[in-house]
Chain A
Amino acid sequence: MRPVAVTGLGVVSPFGAGVKAYWEGISGGVCAIRPITLIDTEGFRCRIAAEVPDGVGGSTRRSRADRLALAAAREALDDAGIGRPERAEAALIVGAVGGGMLEAEAWYWQRARGVPTPLPRALASSFPSAHADVIGSVLGLGGPRETVVTACSSGAASLAMAADLVADGVVPLALAGGVDALTRICFMGFNALKLLDPAPCRPFDRDRRGMSIGEGAAFVVLEDIARARARGAPVYAELAGYGMTSDAFHVTSPHPEGEGMVRAMRAALREARVAAGAVGYANAHGTATPQNDRIEALAMREVFGEGRLLVSSTKSMIGHTMAAAGTLEAVATVLTLVNEVIPPTARLETPDPEIPFDCVPRVAREAAVELAISNSFGFGGQNVTLLFRRAA
Chain B
Amino acid sequence: MGHRVVITGIGVVDGHASGVVSRLVDESEARRLSRMCQMTVAAGDAGLDTRGELALLVGTEFGDMVSTIAFVDGYLRRGPTGLSPLLFPHTVMNTMAAATAIAVSARDLSLTLNVPTVAGELAIARAAMAVRTGRIGACLAGGADEPPALVLDALREAGAGTEVRGEGAGFVVLESLDAAHARGARILGEIAGAAWRALPARPHGIGRPARSRAIAVALEESGAGVAEIGCVYTSANGDGPREEWERALLDRALAPHRPPQRALCLPAGRHSGLAARSVATAASEAGDRLGLVHAVARGGNQVAIVVAGPRRVAPSRAIEGLASAEAPPRLARSRAVEGFASAEAPPRLAPPSLAQRA
Contacts and interface: CB of A to CB of B under 8 A. Distances in A.
A244 interface: yes
A109 B76 contact: yes
Nearest to B58: A149
Main secondary structure of the interface of B (DSSP, over half): mixed
A145 B201 contact: no
B63 interface: yes
Contact of A381 (B83, B85, B101, B122): B101
Contacts, number: 193
Given A43-B79, A109-B76, A247 B107 contact: yes
Interface in A195-221: none
Interface residues of B, number: 66
Interface string B205-242: 00000000100000000000000000000000000000
- Interface size of A as a range: 35 or more
Contacts of A97: 92-93
Interface string A168-195: 1010000000000000110011111110
Contact of A251 (B98, B106, B159): B98
A382 interface: yes
Given A108-B72, A188-B75, A145 B114 contact: no
A251 B62 contact: no
B160 to A, nearest CB: 8
Interface stretch (A4-12, A18-26, A27-35, A121-129): A121-129
Interface stretch (B17-25, B127-135, B247-255, B279-287): B127-135
Nearest to B135: A164
B157 A129 contact: no
Contacts of B130: 164
A143 B213 CA distance: 9
Interface stretch (A50-58, A131-139, A222-230): A131-139
A134 B203 contact: yes
B109 A245 contact: yes
Contacts of A244: 108-111
Contacts of B109: 244-246
B197 A380 contact: no
Contacts of B56: 246
B261 interface: no
A65 to B, nearest CB: 13
Nearest to B105: A248
Interface string B153-166: 01101111000000
B72 A185 contact: yes
Interface in B137-160: 154-155, 157-160
Contacts of A381: 98, 101-102, 110
Nearest to B99: A251
Contact of B94 (A109, A125, A380): A380
A99 to B, nearest CB: 8
A378 interface: yes
A3 interface: no
B352 interface: no
B95 A246 contact: no
Interface string A357-392: 000000000000000000000111110000000000
B203 A130 contact: yes
B49 to A, nearest CB: 18
B71 A185 contact: yes
Main secondary structure of the interface of A (DSSP, over half): mixed
Contacts of A148: 111-114
B200 interface: yes
B159 to A, nearest CB: 8
B202 interface: yes
Nearest to B83: A192
B83 A189 contact: yes
A49 to B, nearest CB: 16
Interface string A33-48: 0000000000110000
Of listed B61, B79, B97, residue having the most chain A CB within 10 A: B97
B117 to A, nearest CB: 10
Of listed B104, B105, B110, B213, residue having the most chain A CB within 10 A: B110
Interface string A251-290: 1100000001001000000000000000000000000000
Contact of A380 (B95, B108, B155): B95
Contacts of B114: 96, 127-129, 147-149
A255 to B, nearest CB: 10
B76 A149 contact: no
Interface string B268-301: 0000000000000000000000000000000111
A249 B300 contact: no
Given A248-B102, A260-B107, A379-B92, A192 B197 contact: no
The 4 closest A-B pairs by CB, nearest first: A380-B98, A189-B88, A246-B110, A192-B83
27 contacts: A108-B72, A119-B158, A125-B204, A127-B61, A127-B116, A129-B115, A129-B299, A130-B203, A136-B198, A136-B299, A147-B113, A168-B129, A192-B80, A192-B83, A244-B108, A246-B106, A248-B105, A248-B106, A250-B102, A251-B95, A378-B94, A380-B92, A380-B94, A380-B98, A380-B101, A380-B110, A381-B102
